[in-house]
Copies of this chain bind each other. A is one copy, B any other.
Amino acid sequence: MTNTPFVHPINVTWGDCDPARIAYTARLPWFALDAINAWWEHHFDGMGWFQLEIDHNIGTPFVNLSMDFRSPVTPRHKLLCETYPTRLGDKSITFGMKARQDGVLCFEGSFTCVFTIADQFKSQPAPDTLRKVIEPLVRQQ
Contacts and interface: CB of A to CB of B under 8 A. Distances in A.
A1 interface: no
A63 B68 contact: yes
A13 B26 contact: no
Contact of A24 (B15, B51, B59): B15
Interface string A61-98: 11111111100101100000000000000000000000
A105 interface: no
Contact of A65 (B11, B62, B67): B67
B15 A30 contact: yes
Interface residues of A, number: 39
A15 B13 contact: no
A17 B18 CA distance: 5
Given A33-B15, A48-B13, A64 B68 contact: yes
A69 B61 contact: yes
11 contacts: A13-B34, A14-B18, A15-B18, A18-B19, A19-B53, A20-B121, A25-B29, A29-B29, A50-B75, A63-B69, A65-B65
Interface of A: 11, 13-15, 17-21, 24-26, 29-30, 33-34, 37-38, 48-51, 53-54, 59, 61-69, 72, 74-75, 118, 121
